[in-house]
Amino acid sequence: MFKVAICDDEPVFLRAHEKMVHQILREEEIPHTTERYTSGHSLEKQIRRYDLVLMDIRLNGEDGFLFIEKLRNEGIQTAVIFCTSTQSYSLRGYGVYPVHYLVKPIEAGDMRKAILRAHTQVKGWKTVRLFHKDGAAVIALGDILYMEYLGRVTLVHTRDQTYTVSASLHKVWQDYFSDARFVQCHKSFIVSLRSMKNIQRQGILLQNDEQ
């Protein structure tokens, strides 16, 4: 499920952008949900629920760029598409690594390119066919949280379930995931950089608050 939040203080753009997102993802047959927000403050408490945020930079009393910058400093890597009425913020906005930068009114073709680019980045069209003890599964690299070597098997933990592979951690990493954004933080653990929320003295805290 591709979860999208749309944050804008102008109702006309909220409705228009949500409609465009729905149409694009339906046409691409991508399961999805969307929710609307009128401020960064209202979105902040829910931000971890989403894969993508369409963020207006100029909100009433708020700076959308500073809002995203704050999240990045906290380790939150939710994908962002900036939507605003001026190009003057474009260079500034790219400092927080947005997927795209769109100027209102947004053309449908431009929105499509941005949304599909975001989906590719978040979910990844790239998948691996993982052979595990119960058979085989096709897994999107973006869904993997971490890998753990335990009792002579490697556990591959994803958003939805855990797969048991009868091989060493190093072999699983080299055979399946060596080109992805993973880091070995311990002899028994390899973690997806995207799933990391914070690094603590006791270990790594994941985005799902698992340590």
Residue that is written with structure tokens 């809002």 in the block: 67
Q: In one letter, which amino acid is 115?
A: I
Average pLDDT, integer, range 161-167:
91
pTM of the model: 0.61
* Of 146 and 22, the one with more pLDDT: 22
3-state secondary structure of 72: helix
| pLDDT digits 0-9 by tens, 96-135 | 678 888 999 999 999 999 999 888 877 755 667 788 888 8
